[in-house]
Structure 1
Amino acid sequence: MRMLLSCLVGLLVFCLPTLLKAELVDRVVAVVNDEPVTLSELNEEGRDFFRQIIAKAPADQLEAALDKARREVLSSLINKKITAQKAKELGITVADQEVDEAVNSIMTRNNVSAPVFKKDLEAMGSTEENYRRTIRDQILRSKLLNQEVRTKVVITDEKARAYYDAHYTGKKVTQGYNILQMGFSWKKTGDGALEAAKTNARQRAEQAREQAVNNGNFRELAKSYSDLPSAAEGGDIGVIKEDEMAPYMRQTILAMQPGEISPLVETDSGYQFFKLLATEQGGVAPYEAVQEEIRELLYQEETEKYYEKWVKDLRKQYYIKELL
């Protein structure tokens, strides 16, 4: 449930009343125009963040660390309120059907049924209602970005080629192979269930590989579909030496040229495929093989910068009062 974990953000922290100073009576901690931000919202949004601080911060620094964390989370919540209000002002909405489709897509990618999905949420202390609200917020933000931010971001071919020169041709691999990967796992269960899980994993792998081969952004596809830990980094496992590779990886990688995407490879627990970016022999992926990934990477970076500026400008226009 990697995608599920990455989407879950925020649960109540009243189970830690002393450390987090939770109060029996909810109160307003900020106002954005005429809309309040409550203490319960703050605690819900920052629960995991606060727990990490409680687990790691020295006792004599805990209160200061928590106070700083609360203010950071409050600032994020205010930004959410601002973007939601702006979306309403622009008439941007999210239909229930859009949320249903997004949730169903996540369940399909992770090969889980609705009952199992709900149990997984409950095991993590969340609810279907909270999860759907998170998905709705993400869809709304994406729509707003598309309308207000992304249309203003342009990545020229000159920028993309400059990035390629700096990060590919200008950054030689001296030892090993620079590799991207995707993996699709199955759970080891009974014979009948195992075969079904294998079939599902192979189908997901084939679909992702087909998109990657057809000029898809390998890194973004890995983030969305891969079951491996490297998915968080866009499938990038860095530079791997030949003697560090598993036999199935070594056999596959040594037969590839930079820029190529490998066939599916079956492992003990799933299916994998790779994209070779560069080799110790001096080869690098041609610009045409990575240009879409480069453009998407630069586009995401520029969009985030523009978004931050856009929200900062909106903050100046809106009435905001923090009461924490």
Structure 2
Amino acid sequence: MKTLLHTLAVAAALFAASANAQQVQPLDRIAAVVDEDIILSSELDHAVGNILAQYATRQDQLPPRAILERQVLERLILLKLQTARAQQTGVNVSDEEVDAAISSIAQQNNFTMDQLRRQLAGDGMSFDAFRASLREELLIQRMRQRFAQTRVSVSDAEVDAALASQASGAQYRLAHILVALPEGATPEQIQTGQQKIDGIKGLIDRDEMEFSAAAVRYSDSPNALEGGDLGWRRTDEIPAAFASAITTLQPGQVIGPIRGPSGFQLLQLVDVRDGQTGGGQVTQYQARHILIRAPAGEDSEARARIDGLRARIAGGADFAEIASETSEDASSKDNGGDLGWFTQDEFGPEFGGQVAALSDGEVSAPFRTQAGWHIVQRTGSRQSSASDSNQRAQIRESIGQRKLEEEWDRYVRELRSEAYVSIRTGVDADPDVAPGASGG
């Protein structure tokens, strides 16, 4: 829900701009064509207006209008592509789930539903447009979850290594600035990027601009309009090039520039907190599972397949062999479906409830989650201290989140590079260059 609330600031505003624009101004210019969809100029104008409203008292931190329009249009393009891919791959969000998300947002902001409607109207956003934007945001979140299940795995060995290297439970609030370089960058492009990042660093070092303002104005990262905020991270989920240096910094200090796969980066330590947890006992389970995915319109076929596999296991077939041969969970099938040790809520309430209801060695009946149809064999259970379990779970989550961010960013770049995108409006201005940089 933290991610969902965060999107109200920027992402939901962009979605809402899209939904609002499609309800009004039937005679509207096209800002961009994205595969078989379009972005209207009114969508772009509304989205930019939302950003300007959010920075009403800090508009000096924003880039020039042409650069801001380019940043916002690129976000709208990526949102269109992700939403379309979610729908193509059978990701669905029910009306009840949208209603629940809206209720949660209202509660988090201490609004009644009528107050939320009035607030939206005051912001120039219809309730239907807000609802549509929220549905699209939930679609993308769900697609990311499915993506994580198939593309991201964290082994016990990785968790053990992270625990061994972690001197404390400290967590670090970070922000970054990226000056992107294209793949196969030429020496001239590299030199221009180096000059730009040096110029940005100079502004920050001379206290001529705050780090967050510099990120908004100059960063090429997708989170530029959030001031480059990366949230709270443990040392094991900080890029290796920065991890050792971060622990020696004081809040507010900046390291870099460092060149990484995407370009040149600056990283700021915003704050530090103690992330230690403790107390009590918790039950952990060890299990294997088989997953058969169920794209839209193919649920009955997936159910028939999982029923057939369950019958084979009941007839004496080895669970691990069946999992290796048939499971569609790429992160566990090579290990015979083994999920390692986990707590009941680690893989979601539906899955955890099924595992908890089994005895060690018992195999479940087929059951459905958002990911598809499952069969689970519980192979063990144990009691461990809640502090150890929580720490392992947090580390596993943080490593998985870091991997997901890297894989998802790569996936979205692939979507963008493979898509047909035709920009029809004048937002292709040259990138803004920090004072001290020579151009680019």
Q: Which TM-score band applies after superposition, normalised by the shorter structure? A: 0.5 to 0.7
Letter in 2 for 1:238: V
CA separation of 1:52 and 1:143: change in aligned 2, threshold 3 A? closer
Letter in 2 for 1:50: L
Correspondence for 2:51: 49
- CA distance in 1: counterparts of 2:36 and 2:99, whole angstroms: 30
CA separation of 1:123 and 1:154: change in aligned 2, threshold 3 A? same
CA separation of 1:98 and 1:130: change in aligned 2, threshold 3 A? same
- CA distance in 2: counterparts of 1:56 and 1:121, whole angstroms: 22
- CA distance in 1: counterparts of 2:92 and 2:120, whole angstroms: 26
Correspondence for 2:277: 259
User: Match of 2:125, SS?
Assistant: coil
Correspondence for 1:249: none
Correspondence for 1:7: 8
CA separation of 1:163 and 1:48: change in aligned 2, threshold 3 A? farther
User: Match of 1:321, SS?
Assistant: strand
Displacement of 1:172: 8.4
Contact 1:164 1:287 in 2 (8 A): no
Correspondence for 2:272: 238
Query: Are 2:411 and 1:310 equivalent residues in the alignment?
Result: yes
Displacement of 1:66: 1.9
Correspondence for 1:297: 398
Correspondence for 1:140: 139
- CA distance in 2: counterparts of 1:261 and 1:286, whole angstroms: 6
Q: Which has the higher strand share?
A: 2
Q: Which has the higher helix share?
A: 1
Query: Are 2:89 and 1:86 equivalent residues in the alignment?
Result: no
| TM-score relative to the length of structure 1 | 0.54
Correspondence for 1:107: 106
User: Match of 1:238, SS?
Assistant: strand
Contact 2:52 2:59 in 1 (8 A): no
Contact 2:279 2:387 in 1 (8 A): no
User: Match of 2:93, SS?
Assistant: coil
Displacement of 1:133: 1.9
Correspondence 1:18-97 to 2 at 5 A: 26-51=28-53, 56=58, 65-97=64-96
- CA distance in 2: counterparts of 1:233 and 1:163, whole angstroms: 17
Contact 1:30 1:322 in 2 (8 A): yes
Query: Are 2:158 and 1:159 equivalent residues in the alignment?
Result: yes
User: Match of 1:31, SS?
Assistant: strand
User: Match of 1:126, SS?
Assistant: coil
The equivalent position to 1:320 in structure 2, one of 417, 421, 430, is 421
Tell me, which stretches of 5 or more residues in structure 2 are unaligned?
18-24, 173-230, 234-269, 281-385, 426-440
- CA distance in 1: counterparts of 2:141 and 2:72, whole angstroms: 20
Contact 2:28 2:42 in 1 (8 A): yes
Q: Deviations over 1:106-132 (max 9, x none)?
A: 334555432232233334443322321
Letter in 1 for 2:132: R
Q: Deviations over 1:183-234 (max 9, x none)?
A: xxxxxxxxxxxxxxxxxxxxxxxxxxxxxxxxxxxxxxxxxxxxxxxxx759
CA separation of 1:99 and 1:53: change in aligned 2, threshold 3 A? closer
- CA distance in 1: counterparts of 2:26 and 2:76, whole angstroms: 21
User: Match of 1:260, SS?
Assistant: coil
Query: Are 2:389 and 1:288 equivalent residues in the alignment?
Result: yes
Letter in 1 for 2:272: G
CA separation of 1:55 and 1:237: change in aligned 2, threshold 3 A? closer
- CA distance in 2: counterparts of 1:124 and 1:142, whole angstroms: 25
Displacement of 1:77: 1.0
User: Match of 2:13, SS?
Assistant: coil
Contact 1:87 1:144 in 2 (8 A): yes
Tell me, which stretches of 5 or more residues in structure 1 are unaligned?
14-22, 180-231, 241-257, 263-284
Displacement of 1:51: 4.3
CA separation of 1:96 and 1:289: change in aligned 2, threshold 3 A? closer
Q: What is the root-mean-square deviation of aligned Cα atoms in Å?
A: 4.0
Letter in 2 for 1:90: T
| TM-score relative to the length of structure 2 | 0.41
Letter in 2 for 1:295: R
Contact 1:42 1:70 in 2 (8 A): yes
- CA distance in 2: counterparts of 1:104 and 1:239, whole angstroms: 31
Correspondence for 1:121: 120
User: Match of 2:146, SS?
Assistant: helix
Letter in 2 for 1:260: G
- CA distance in 1: counterparts of 2:143 and 2:85, whole angstroms: 8
